[in-house]
Structure 1
Amino acid sequence: MAKRKQSSHLAGWIIAGLLGVVAYQSGILDGIGRIASQAQQVTSPTRATQSDSASERLNKPRYVNVASLNVRHTPSASGPLIMALPRGTPIKVLDRKDGWLLIDLSPTLEGWVTERFTTVQAPLQPYVPPAPLVSSR
């Protein structure tokens, strides 16, 4: 009887291993790892200390480099939208996180924008939207 119990234990381990491989391949375990890393980030201070050169870059004025730049509550493309800034708008950067910039909108409001849609070069001319189409009828 003891041998039979051991073999069923072995079968259980084999099934558990196969389920683990399937979970890993389907990305279920990757999602659990991301949740754990996000929980660890929440417990750490929100503003990371940066090197002198990185903080100098944050002090430089930046400008919106696209026709309209969405400002969000969280550093995520799916985060709630606060407002949109037009091309050439100067922005004051407070912090940087994973390709997102925390910007100062007013004394009481901050928001996140995607860093790749901003530039440190002042725009040569302001963005002027195209004229509306006029019907010939």
Structure 2
Amino acid sequence: MRDRTMVRWSTYEPFFVTLGDYRVADIVVTHHAHSRWTERVEEESAGFDKICDYIWGKLKDDKITPYHKNEKDVYLIDSDLVMVTEFTELEGETDLVGNPLHRMIIVTFLGRMSESLELRDLKTYYSWLRHSRRMTLIKNGRKRK
């Protein structure tokens, strides 16, 4: 996901945006994240390019912040939208100093904190998800007997 609006001639430095300790030069949206985007963020079907452009713009505007100090993979967009990401190093690409550049892989979008209050505390949210799934499995197990 290179910056499409930027045209540079005769520069040797690759373009990246700093997010914490990472130098993000590429964004990848998984199919799961795309389906969660349509379910939880926008009702309209958005393409992968539109989601990447949105994330890239928020990165450049410094609107993406870590959820907590301890959470390294969970980020907030505009202090509302919660997303889970992973970072991998881009092979053979470094900045001028020699620091590696990274690819941001968006795993999923959990939703907006303004719409679902459970997202304000992720530990409680994940334990609630595990409990609800376990209870669903128990109920389905009772029906089969």
TM-score by length of 2: 0.24
Name which one, 1 or 2, has greater alpha-carbon Rg. 1
TM-score by length of 1: 0.25
